[in-house]
Amino acid sequence: MKLAKGMTLFALALSAHTAFAADQSVPTDSSIHVQADPALKSLLPADVVKRGYIVAGTNPNTPPTTFYKEDNKTLAGREIDIMNAVGERLGIQVQWRDTGGFDNIIPGLKTGRYDVALSNINATPARAKIIDFVGYYDASRLGIISRKDANVAPFKDLSDVCGKEVGAGSGTTQVTRLEDASKACEAAGKKPIKVSVFPDRPAGVQAVVSGRVPMFLGPYEGLLWQVKVIKPLTMSGEITVHDAPVSVAFQKDSPLEPAIQAALNSLIKDGSYNKILDTWGIGFGAVKQAKRNQEIFQ
C-alpha cells in the first residue's frame, strides 16, 4: 500500500479536524493529475463556468477516504483525488469545504452551500428522495474492528454480534444496519445489539482502542487502513452487504450531474480512476461504470 506523502500513521489514522468553518476553502493535495477534455467541459452549466469553480463539501475523517495531512490544513484521500481529477477532466477548479460533520452534508446540499459532496456517502433509496447521486465506489464490504487482546473470533455476519455492543458513526448507514440487525436478533429469540453512536469514525475507533466500546462497524477500506497502523486493533468482522455504491451527492436535479458522471466515466475508461484507487490500496472497490440516480439501484 502506498502511503500519502507527509503522513504520520497513528495521528492520521485517528485524524479529525474541525478548525475550518464550512464556508472556507481548504487546500488539497492530489496524488495524480489528468488532462482536460474540452468536449466534456461543454456539459457544465453556464453559471458554474462563469463562476469558475465547483464547490465540494466533505467531512474529513480518516485515511484513505478524506483526511487532513500532517500540516493540519491540507486535505488528501480518495475523495479528494477523485473529485479533483473530475475537475481537471472538466477543465474547472474544485474548491473544497470542511462540512464540520457528516450530518451537515445533506442540509448543505439542499441549501446550495455545496454543489457536490464526497464523504463515503452511500446512495440509498431514502436519501434519493431528497438528494441525487452518481456512484463511483463499490461499498459492498464493511468491517468490524476490536482490540487484539479481546480475542474476538472472526465472523462474517451481524447475527454473530447479537447481545454485544458495537459502535458506528453518527448519520451513517452503519447505524441503521446495526439497528436492523438488532431487531433480527430479537426476532430470533436472541439478545439485541447495543448500538453505540459516535460523532464520527475517529471517535469510535479511539473508543475501541481505549476499551470503552468492544467493537466498531464502518467502511472496510477505512478500517483496514487503521488496523494496519494502530497496533492494538484487529479486523474481527468482514461483512458482505448489497449496498449501492458510495457516490458523489448533489442537490436534487442538479444541472452538474451529467458533466460529473461523464467525467467519472472518462476517468474509468482511461485508467486514471484505477490509478487513484490503487494509490490508496483500495482497488478492490473499483466500479466499471459511474451510474446515476435510479439506475444505481437497478
**What are the pLDDT digits (tens) for 156-172?**
999 999 999 999 999 88
Residue 102 lies in a domain: yes
Measure the CA–CA gap between 81 and 118, rounded to whole angstroms.
11
Same domain? 133 vs 278: yes
Shared domain for 179 and 219, answered yes or no, is yes
Paired sense of beta strands 165-169 and 131-137, if any: unpaired
Domain boundary among 240, 257, 279: 240
> Tell me: the pLDDT tens digits for 34-93?
999 999 999 999 999 999 999 999 999 778 999 999 999 999 999 999 999 999 999 999
Is the residue at 191 inside a domain? Answer: yes
From CA 116, how far away is CA 240, in angstroms rounded? 28
Separation CA 235–CA 257 (nearest Å) = 36
Residues 184, 233 within the same domain: yes
| Same domain membership, residue 57 and residue 96 | yes
Beta-carbon contacts of residue 21 (< 8 Å; ≥ 6 apart): 98, 100
Sheet holding 233-240, edge to edge: 194-198, 165-169, 216-219, 141-147, 233-240
Q: The CATH number of the domain where 200 resides is what?
A: 3.40.190.10
The verdict on 179 and 234 lying in the same domain is yes
User: Residue 4 falls within a domain, yes or no?
Assistant: no
State the number of CA atoms in the 13 A half-sphere of 267 facing the CB: 32
pLDDT in tens, 168-222: 999 888 999 999 999 999 999 999 999 999 998 889 999 999 999 999 999 998 8
C-alpha cell recorded at residue 63: 485515511
76 and 224 share a domain? Answer: no
Q: Return the C-alpha cell found at 250.
A: 448533489
Question: Would you mind telling me the total number of residues written for the chain in this entry?
Answer: 298
pLDDT reading at 153 higher than 50: yes
The model scores a pTM over 0.85: no
Work out how many domains the chain is built from and give that number: 2
Q: Give the residue from 193, 217, 240 where a domain finishes.
A: 240
On the question of pLDDT at 130 being above 70, the answer is yes
The gap from C-alpha 167 to its chain's centroid, in whole angstroms, comes to 17
Establish if 26 belongs to a structural domain. Answer: no
In a domain, residue 8? The reply is no
pLDDT classification of 1: cutoffs 50, 70, 90? very low
The Cα–Cα gap between 126 and 128 comes to 5
Answer whether residue 19 is part of any domain: no
Residue 1 forms part of a structural domain: no
Does residue 170 share a domain with residue 118? no
Q: Are residues 223 and 249 in the same domain?
A: no
One domain, residues 128 and 249? yes
Residue 143 predicted with pLDDT over 70: yes
- Same domain as 147, residue 97: no
pLDDT of residue 172: 87
Question: What Cα–Cα distance (Å) separates residue 145 from each residue in 50, 122, 171, 201?
Answer: 47, 20, 19, 11
Q: Is 122 found in the same domain as 208?
A: no
Query: Grid coordinates standing for 43?
Result: 456539459
CA distance 1 to 7: 13
Alpha-carbon distance of 197 to 178, in angstroms, equals 10
pLDDT at 14: 57
Question: 174: domain range?
Answer: 141-240
Is the backbone peptide bond immediately before 64 cis, with ω within 30 degrees of 0? yes
Contact partners, residue 197, CB within 8 Å, separation at least 6? 167, 168, 169, 170, 175
pLDDT at 5: 41
Model confidence at 240: pLDDT above 50 = yes
What pLDDT, on a 0 to 100 scale, did the predictor assign at position 10? 52
Q: For 33-58, b where at least 16 C-beta lie within 10 A, e where not — what string?
A: ebeebeebeebbeeebeeeeebbbbb
Measure the CA–CA gap between 167 and 133, rounded to whole angstroms: 27
Does residue 32 lie within any of the structural domains? no
Residues 131 and 176 in one domain: no
